[in-house]
Structure 1
Amino acid sequence: MSQKPLTSPDFQSILAVRLSRRSTLKGLGLSGAAAVLSGCAGTMAASGRGQGMSASSTLTFKELPHALDAHFTVAQGYNAQVLVSWGDPLFADAPRFDPANQTEQHQLRQFGYNNDFIGFVPLPMGSDSSEHGLLVVNHEYCRSGMMFPGSPDELQLSEEQIKVNIAAHGLSVVEIKKHSSGQWQLVLDSAYNRRITPNTPMQMTGPAAGSQRLHSQYSTDGVKTRGTYGNCAGGVTPWGTILTGEENVDNFFGGDFSQSGEVENYQRFGMQEVFHTSWGLLDKRWDMRENPSEPLHVGWVVEIDPYDPHSVPKKRTTLGRYKHEGANVFINRDGRVVAYSGDDQQFEYLYRFISKERYQPDNRKANLSLLDEGTLYCARFADNGSMQWLPLVFGQGPLTTENGFQSQADVLLDCRKAADLLGATPMDRPEDVEVNPVTGQVYVMLTNNSRRTEAQTDGPNPRAKNLAGQVLELTPPQGDHSADSFSWDLLLVAGRKGDAGTHYHANISDNGWLACPDNCAFDNLGNLWIATDGAEAFGVADGVWATEVTGENRALTKRFLRTPMGAELCGPFFTPDAQNFFCSVQHPGDGSSYDNPKTRWPDFRDDMPPRPSVMVITKQGGGRIGS
């Protein structure tokens, strides 16, 4: 079916509602959070100044041009350092990376593959240091054809290669320090350094812990569990822990589950009988016929204390089981913790959690259990710019025994089904969700949805066959994130400049357009930095764009950096002083092979394959990133 034209009555009526609401907000003195969309021009209305960004802009870096090549490139006036790459030693006694002689034991002491989310917490704990801290990085999945000589298929790995593949997943925790030269270095003899893998002992907590449905061959009590994998984005809590989201975990399982008692759940989650990786061929843990409860142990948000290398990671079941892109925490004005998360799949939902207890700034021990009690909500949007948060509570509304729920544990284990019944709004792949530290508004990255039809379009998801995604802005009333109703707006609708359906600031440059927003971060001025995954399908490299979200430069996006070909850009994260910007380059050279890669970044050596890596960006001469 053809894409709905921009001039269609339905789309125009949605924009008309947006214009009306923004006028009301302006009258209330909130115009900075409510810039106006031009009805048909495909860009936001200009402020009346000349072309380009206004003199009052806080983003004055020289914009980087679009391109697609083998290199990582950052805007003029900035330095880009490769901080750590797949296979690099994380401990003083760890071996150097040798791609031709990989072993499980080596990989367990080395940085994992496909780095995604990045979290930085300062050292010492409780300080605001921007030059010394702990870096925590997710390792989402592997591309075996890019990891091993001969480019083997995922189902044709040797036993040792499967073990290496498993060991390369999970997370890495490593102490880092900035030296007087301006270069960052790993502290390899640090007691904090740690690898967390699919085999690390963990614990289920919250209402689903102990559920009979979680009893498995390994977990006879439904409480103890093992490992984390499929880790996409995450978040850093105000009490200094890391939240990591388990996303596409269905890809790790196979086997006939028709007799498991979980057929409806597994089908809803995307499980298939066919194996996509070799894990289940090596270990029956990932064979659903042999171990039918194991898939219920993943799909959660895991909380990790990086300051305690001996701590047991906790799977916080209160946040629900689905394909978590991540989870980001905000302390509401009443002291309760609010965590936002997206379910990263086409037509899935946006969620919010509110804790029962309140954050205590001087009681870290009490804060460590804040995510164990509270209420989970899913979001329902209306085209008039309003939205409601619907509680997922057993016994309320349709979440009853008549619909198959016997307890709150069932609601959380069958979170997608519960949200279906409540009438949550199916979204265009909700990924990263972050709160602006300056305005308190919430921003949702909606990456794309090629399956949406014209009949399925709505206010926050206005395009059929949406290939480029959009950025959604949520405003809590009077800054109260516990309110049942918010208002919403479209900050921008992504895609090539001038394409039907796209919406940016009127003065956007030829290099300012972006596609497929994925992760995001805010600097300490409240500027939004957007990382993309999918721009290469539009002929340009993925990377990072920055924009102001209030005032006359709202939605005037500028490209800041580019990835090597085949890569996506993940995990943007600022140090507290906003003078160091971390980011992940994931799967460089994707779509090629170990033996004949599109790029050999970052080493550019004939004996080295392309390696996923963490970058740190600093301004030449020092100063705030973006200025």
Structure 2
Amino acid sequence: MATRRSLMAGVALAPLAVPARAWAQTISPLLQGADPESPQLNDVVAEGLRRDVIIRWGDPVLANAPPFTPNRLTEAEAARQFGWDGIIAGIVTPPQAEDGIARLVMVVSHPDVSPRMVFPGGRDQPRIAGKLQGASVLNLSQRGGRWVVVDGGYQSRRITDGTLCTITGPAASTIGASVQGVLAPGLGCVTPWNTVLLPEGRTDTWVTRLAGRTAGFAAPTVGAGFGWVVELDALSPTSFPAKRTALGRMPRAGVAAGIAADGSAVVFMTEDAPIGRLFRFKGAAPIGDGSAALDAGTLSVATIEGTSIVWHDLPEGLPSITATLSAGRHGARFDAPAGLAIGPDRTVYLACSGNPGRGVNQVDALNPRAGNGGGHILALRPTGGDLAASRFTGEVALLGGDPTTDPSARYGAGSQAWLRAPYSLNFGPANRLYVGTDQGGAVSDTADGLFVMDVTGYDRYALTELYLAPIGGAIGAAAFGPLGHTIFTVARHPGATPNASFANPATRWPTVQPGMPPQTTLVALAR
């Protein structure tokens, strides 16, 4: 059995000394043994894969972006360059151009800005921070067999605290028709109707941070315009992001969108909390009947009955829309629920990042461990395959942790890796589930990584790994190029260990140059 030490030794940028198998099966035997090994200063890529840097914090998103000057950042830079943090929300494919060049439009969320890692001296500069967060819409094209960001691409745009958004749905009459800014977007998704959803997370801290320092954040009532799901038409650069209030107001970690058996929209949403709830929105009418898919419908919250999820509708009316957590107070609490993904068979997968605070008297069939920060992944199967069904059968697909030291850790037969704190979930080639981990910057004996898990067949729930983030970093979801030949992922906030700072980061990856800060980096992994 390979140990973590044997696999991680040597030059960090060198590929792992193990053979790559078929691309759809991916990659290398990384079952991590009990011998602890500190995460590497740089990222690690499995043998048989090429890692290309696509864009980094400070690289231009807009054609008029000024050069990156990390020691003296300006608002003009921050509003036009790639943000400090990053999570892939999804890829939308534009119509084929006459030149035949393959193109993609990718949306990347920028949820956070850490003053100690971004600003010299660690003193917050809210006017700049508000521009560093938000989202980037990137034009990608394939040149010479590699994906690159198109300089000044047609759909390229930055979404920040200054972006004008429309407000739609039931709460628009009380909040107003528009609001300035998108704040703290988390794990987004692409909808079946080809838009992108960006769930706003813990916006109250951002509103406080920006109050009185940035235009549009002076009035005490401005907070009501945040905490929503934002829908973005990524292919239309002149369109306004729309905050869909029918989906309720709360801090969200992630969303996943599908279509019910009756043709209406279904959106699953996780509460951003150490013991968070799972919510669902079901549209009132079929998609494409002329009405907005997300502007009217029913909100419900999940409860746990044995090994099943049972959905309970929230009361109708504005209180459920504007104070969704209060309306859903009877919902089941999950261990830091985060990423969601809907499989081809309509199974809903939920990543729970772990909850060391769960007591022995609080465990249940779908949160089966007390005091454990390893996290787990749930498979939730709707009755009759209908995402709007009132009952889903639940199964624990994975229990995270080091199996050599934690006897409660559990992985599928044939697993070649273990993980802690599953965070993002995305379906990729051959209907395999890609899992990104995020240990929240905690000091750990294992790096965060991108894993892939079989969910069907003989190798059901078998886990392997293909990429490790640098020390202090995490994984910001995954997305896939045409035919699955390329996997995109983000190495988030490298170097941001608990005691690190702008002057003394734990690594200076990816440039590894004196005076350059570590940079969140979108990478492509290709054969």
Q: How does 1:69-80 map onto structure 2 within 5 Å?
A: 69-80=40-51
1:200 aligns to 2:131 (yes or no): no
Determine the C-alpha separation between the residues in 2 that align with 1:581 and 1:64.
19
| Aligned position for 1:280 | 211
More divergent stretch after superposition (547-556 vs 528-537): 528-537
User: Which residue identity is paired with 1:617?
Assistant: L
Match of 2:27 among 39, 61, 79: 61
| Aligned position for 1:436 | 343
1:465 aligns to 2:371 (yes or no): yes
Q: How does 1:393-408 map onto structure 2 within 5 Å?
A: 393-394=315-316, 408=317
Aligned Cα root-mean-square deviation (Å): 2.3
Kindly indicate whether the alpha-carbon contact (under 8 Å) linking 2:200 and 2:227 is maintained by their aligned counterparts in 1. Answer: yes
| Alpha-carbon shift at residue 231 of structure 1 (Å) | 1.0
User: Which residue identity is paired with 2:133?
Assistant: H
User: Which residue identity is paired with 2:379?
Assistant: E
1:586 aligns to 2:509 (yes or no): no
| Alpha-carbon shift at residue 177 of structure 1 (Å) | 0.3
Determine the C-alpha separation between the residues in 2 that align with 1:327 and 1:119.
12
User: Which residue identity is paired with 2:130?
Assistant: I
Unaligned 5+ segments in structure 2 are: 1-20
* CA distance 1:147–1:312, change in 2 (3 Å): same
Kindly indicate whether the alpha-carbon contact (under 8 Å) linking 1:64 and 1:76 is maintained by their aligned counterparts in 2. Answer: no
Match of 1:164 among 128, 147, 150: 128
| Alpha-carbon shift at residue 443 of structure 1 (Å) | 0.2
Q: How does 1:198-277 map onto structure 2 within 5 Å?
A: 198-211=161-174, 214=175, 222-254=176-208, 277=209
Does the residue aligned with 2:319 lie in a helix, a strand or coil? helix
Does the residue aligned with 2:361 lie in a helix, a strand or coil? helix
1:318 aligns to 2:246 (yes or no): yes
| Alpha-carbon shift at residue 375 of structure 1 (Å) | 1.0
| Alpha-carbon shift at residue 113 of structure 1 (Å) | 1.6
| Aligned position for 2:296 | 373
* CA distance 1:126–1:457, change in 2 (3 Å): farther
1:417 aligns to 2:305 (yes or no): no
- 1:407-460 CA-to-partner distances (Å, cap 9, x unmatched) read x1221111111111xx211111111111012x2211000111122111111111
Answer 1 or 2: which has greater strand percent.
2
Between 1 and 2, higher relative CO (CA 8 Å, sep ≥ 6) is seen in 1
| Aligned position for 1:398 | none
| Alpha-carbon shift at residue 359 of structure 1 (Å) | 2.5
Q: Which runs of 4+ in 1 moved over 3 A?
A: 55-58, 63-67, 283-286, 506-509, 535-538
| Aligned position for 1:387 | 309
* CA distance 1:56–1:613, change in 2 (3 Å): closer
Match of 1:607 among 499, 510, 515: 515
Kindly indicate whether the alpha-carbon contact (under 8 Å) linking 1:284 and 1:291 is maintained by their aligned counterparts in 2. Answer: no
| Alpha-carbon shift at residue 537 of structure 1 (Å) | 4.2
| Aligned position for 2:12 | none
Does the residue aligned with 1:192 lie in a helix, a strand or coil? coil
Determine the C-alpha separation between the residues in 2 that align with 1:64 and 1:374.
45
More divergent stretch after superposition (604-613 vs 532-541): 532-541
Does the residue aligned with 1:327 lie in a helix, a strand or coil? strand
| Alpha-carbon shift at residue 64 of structure 1 (Å) | 4.5
| Aligned position for 2:113 | 142
1:178 aligns to 2:109 (yes or no): no
Kindly indicate whether the alpha-carbon contact (under 8 Å) linking 2:301 and 2:312 is maintained by their aligned counterparts in 1. Answer: yes
| Aligned position for 1:528 | 433
| Alpha-carbon shift at residue 57 of structure 1 (Å) | 11
Unaligned 5+ segments in structure 1 are: 1-54, 155-160, 215-221, 255-276, 395-407, 620-627
Kindly indicate whether the alpha-carbon contact (under 8 Å) linking 1:63 and 1:75 is maintained by their aligned counterparts in 2. Answer: no
TM-score normalized by structure 2?
Answer: 0.89
Match of 2:267 among 336, 339, 349: 339
| Alpha-carbon shift at residue 477 of structure 1 (Å) | 1.6
Kindly indicate whether the alpha-carbon contact (under 8 Å) linking 2:270 and 2:277 is maintained by their aligned counterparts in 1. Answer: yes
User: Which residue identity is paired with 1:244?
Assistant: L
| Alpha-carbon shift at residue 576 of structure 1 (Å) | 4.3
| Alpha-carbon shift at residue 554 of structure 1 (Å) | 1.6
Between the two proteins, the alignment pairs up a number of residues equal to: 497
Determine the C-alpha separation between the residues in 2 that align with 1:130 and 1:575.
13
Q: How does 1:496-511 map onto structure 2 within 5 Å?
A: 496-498=402-404, 499-509=406-416
* CA distance 1:249–1:300, change in 2 (3 Å): same
| Alpha-carbon shift at residue 292 of structure 1 (Å) | 3.1
| Aligned position for 1:489 | 395
| Alpha-carbon shift at residue 563 of structure 1 (Å) | 0.1
- 1:348-369 CA-to-partner distances (Å, cap 9, x unmatched) read 2101111112124xx8xx47x2
| Alpha-carbon shift at residue 237 of structure 1 (Å) | 1.3
- 1:289-341 CA-to-partner distances (Å, cap 9, x unmatched) read x7332222211110011111111111111111111122211123332211111
Q: Percent identity?
A: 31
Kindly indicate whether the alpha-carbon contact (under 8 Å) linking 1:521 and 1:574 is maintained by their aligned counterparts in 2. Answer: no
Does the residue aligned with 1:552 lie in a helix, a strand or coil? coil
Does the residue aligned with 1:478 lie in a helix, a strand or coil? helix
Determine the C-alpha separation between the residues in 2 that align with 1:176 and 1:60.
24
| Alpha-carbon shift at residue 139 of structure 1 (Å) | 0.8
| Alpha-carbon shift at residue 244 of structure 1 (Å) | 0.3
* CA distance 1:103–1:284, change in 2 (3 Å): closer
Match of 2:418 among 513, 517, 524: 513
Kindly indicate whether the alpha-carbon contact (under 8 Å) linking 1:208 and 1:410 is maintained by their aligned counterparts in 2. Answer: no
| Alpha-carbon shift at residue 148 of structure 1 (Å) | 2.5
